Structure 1
Amino acid sequence: MENSASVNKEDVIPEEATVKLKKLASEWDDIVDPNALDVFRLKGAMTNEVYQIKWPSRNPEQQRSRKVLVRIYGKGVDVFFDRQNEIKIFEFMSKQGQGPRLLGRFQSGRIEEFIRARTLSAPDLRDPEISSLIAAKMREFHVLDMPGPKTVILWDRLQNWLNVAKGLASTEEAKDFRLDLLKDEIVLLERNLAGNHLSMGCCHNDLQYGNIMMDEETRSITFIDVGGSWFKNFFKLLLI
């Protein structure tokens, strides 16, 4: 994780999360004071607020201090994500060794393992080696037997987004963005992508470069901030 700025924990971290963080730190014998947590805002998150939490170590020469990550869900974005489904998938991936481990939950967010790796940038996606590593990791992700009902929700989700957009847009904006035509396009896409010859897979749904991390030493790839859903997908056949 990169690009952090120190902040006042009382201003940003919910009390429920602070209690859980202190309890978590009290279980580690290398922490000087579980209550002395430092909070740093991490830049780059688009829909959530993300913070690095660390504690001073008993060994001042220890190069790696204890760190965790707190993710506070963004307000007003529930129309895009099913939070209950997201946390089930996150917990499952955590147990499978895919992505960061889940360390705690609170009403407006969760506590995650701090991944000691760098977040990718847009130019990284043009690197053939890195692109190959991402594709291989995507194959691992697509074959996971994720929990929950394995039904296609993409089309209902697109219709819901369209309805929200229509409710927010003015008549002129709706015309400029051709919102009235999008419903027919969604129906056409669903019809063309239907068929028993296509496989079913769980999609990340937000795999932009800011949600992909890479360990520079091992070159291992980790996906974060998964908001998965099921989709009868044709692109999976291309990535495997």
Structure 2
Amino acid sequence: MAKELFPGWIQYKEDIAINRISGALTNAIFFVDAGGKRRLLRVYGVGVDQLIDREKELAWLARLGRLNLGPRLLAIFGNGRFEEYVESITLNHNDIREPNISKQIAQCMARQHAIVKIYPPQQKKDTDDRHILEIWQNVDKWYALVMRLLPTLKQQHPHWIPLLDLYNFDQLGKDIERSKEILSDIKSPIVFGHNDLQYGNILKRDDTGALVLVDFEYAGYNTRGFDLANHFVEWRYDYHGERPAAMTEPFPTKEEQVRFIQAYMDTNKTELGMDDDTSVEEIQKEMEAWLMGTHLGWGLWGLVQASQSEIDFDYFYYSMERLNAFREELVKWNLLD
């Protein structure tokens, strides 16, 4: 395939070296080395096309390439693609807590969010913003998929049945609608969100030390509060630790949240020329409200993955912890309402 897609790169298959990268939860990722050149190979996980809109993802990759944001897309094939390799190191779970790196991530997030000014969403008349947001498109699709997969999950894993029955997925449908009502009242601007800003999707360039965001499979229009909440929840994971599927690490403190949000706002103002008089505290409130949205989305995602993924990761534990966290947040906001 490499010979077909990149004529002149290699002569014989013995010339090529392939090394798998650990920690990816959706795809298998490899470094492919030959002739002094390295390319990144991404092979899509089994059944992942039920979770990800590939056409939408590839369209966004092309747009981001034109804006020089993220690695270039080099070639696509049936169940994967080749991407430009950026000479870099991938951040780890400790790096994102380092104050200067956290500020840099906030700057990257602000620049990516601003893409909405270049590629605004198509707003339908007489409708609210919910149909635009990736989170609700995904939740509706993934919830329907989970309901179809429940019998399969129970058949494949009988020891999961007590927990699945206890959770009550019929009630979850009502909880989802209630969360939509609550979050529709939270004012948070629509941005172009990464929506999966975990440490493994952030590279630090060897030459300049600048950060580069990668893996835009879940990217699209979402609220600012969602993308912030999603990133802060990712502080809780160490995907290379002893319990990679569990939230074992601390959530960012108020001080760490303020530092991140302030760097985000400063980038909007000084670099992007966006005038926003929203206070740090108001943006914190957006983030806190949208925690329920990020827990819900990834909880459903995890159950779909548990039914079909071949990647060595405890998707079932991950999904149930996230879905329980969603209900805890929902109870909290119901009491406040």
Shorter chain as denominator, the TM-score bin is 0.7 to 0.9
The residue aligned with 1:42 is: 21
1:20 aligns with 2:5: yes
Please report how far the alpha carbon of residue 93 of structure 1 lies from its aligned counterpart in structure 2 after TM superposition.
Answer: 0.9
One-letter amino acid matched to 1:94 = G
Select the residue among 168, 178, 183 that pairs with 2:168. 178
The residue aligned with 1:124 is: 95
Select the residue among 197, 205, 218 that pairs with 1:207. 197
The residue aligned with 2:65 is: 94
Q: Compared with structure 1, are the counterparts of its residues 152 and 129 closer, same or farther at alpha carbon in structure 2 (3 Å cutoff)?
A: same
The residue aligned with 2:221 is: 230
- The within-5 A match list for 1:66-145 is 66-144=37-115, 145=118
Q: Answer whether contact 1:174 1:180 (CA < 8 A) is retained.
A: no
* Residue range with higher mean Cα deviation, 190-199 or 109-118: 190-199
Q: Distance in 2 between the 1:175 and 1:189 partners?
A: 21
Q: Answer whether contact 1:71 1:110 (CA < 8 A) is retained.
A: yes
Q: Compared with structure 1, are the counterparts of its residues 146 and 104 closer, same or farther at alpha carbon in structure 2 (3 Å cutoff)?
A: farther
Q: Distance in 2 between the 1:99 and 1:234 partners?
A: 23
> Match of 1:193, SS?
helix
The residue aligned with 2:134 is: 153
Q: Answer whether contact 1:159 1:183 (CA < 8 A) is retained.
A: no
Please report how far the alpha carbon of residue 136 of structure 1 lies from its aligned counterpart in structure 2 after TM superposition.
Answer: 0.5
Q: Distance in 1 between the 2:186 and 2:99 partners?
A: 33
Q: Distance in 1 between the 2:203 and 2:82 partners?
A: 18
Question: What does the per-residue CA deviation read over 1:74-106, in whole Å, with 9 as the maximum and x for residues that have no partner?
Answer: 111122211110111111112211110111111
In structure 1, the gaps of 5 or more residues are: 1-14, 57-64
Q: Compared with structure 1, are the counterparts of its residues 235 and 49 closer, same or farther at alpha carbon in structure 2 (3 Å cutoff)?
A: closer
One-letter amino acid matched to 1:37 = I
The residue aligned with 2:147 is: 166
1:52 aligns with 2:31: yes
Q: Distance in 2 between the 1:168 and 1:213 partners?
A: 35
Q: Compared with structure 1, are the counterparts of its residues 178 and 130 closer, same or farther at alpha carbon in structure 2 (3 Å cutoff)?
A: farther
Q: Distance in 1 between the 2:141 and 2:227 partners?
A: 25
* Structure with greater helix percent: 2
* Residue range with higher mean Cα deviation, 161-170 or 98-107: 161-170
Q: Answer whether contact 1:119 1:214 (CA < 8 A) is retained.
A: yes
Q: Answer whether contact 1:71 1:111 (CA < 8 A) is retained.
A: yes
Q: Answer whether contact 2:90 2:204 (CA < 8 A) is retained.
A: yes
One-letter amino acid matched to 1:132 = K
Identity among equivalent positions (%) equals 28
What is the number of residues matched between the two proteins?
Answer: 209
Q: Compared with structure 1, are the counterparts of its residues 99 and 186 closer, same or farther at alpha carbon in structure 2 (3 Å cutoff)?
A: same
* Structure with greater strand percent: 1
Q: Compared with structure 1, are the counterparts of its residues 37 and 148 closer, same or farther at alpha carbon in structure 2 (3 Å cutoff)?
A: farther
> Match of 1:161, SS?
helix
Q: Answer whether contact 1:42 1:50 (CA < 8 A) is retained.
A: yes
TM, length-normalised to structure 1: 0.76
One-letter amino acid matched to 1:168 = L
1:189 aligns with 2:187: no
Q: Distance in 2 between the 1:149 and 1:39 partners?
A: 42
Q: Report the RMSD for the aligned CA atoms in angstroms.
A: 2.5
One-letter amino acid matched to 1:200 = I
Q: Compared with structure 1, are the counterparts of its residues 129 and 230 closer, same or farther at alpha carbon in structure 2 (3 Å cutoff)?
A: same
Q: Compared with structure 1, are the counterparts of its residues 51 and 233 closer, same or farther at alpha carbon in structure 2 (3 Å cutoff)?
A: same
The residue aligned with 1:61 is: none
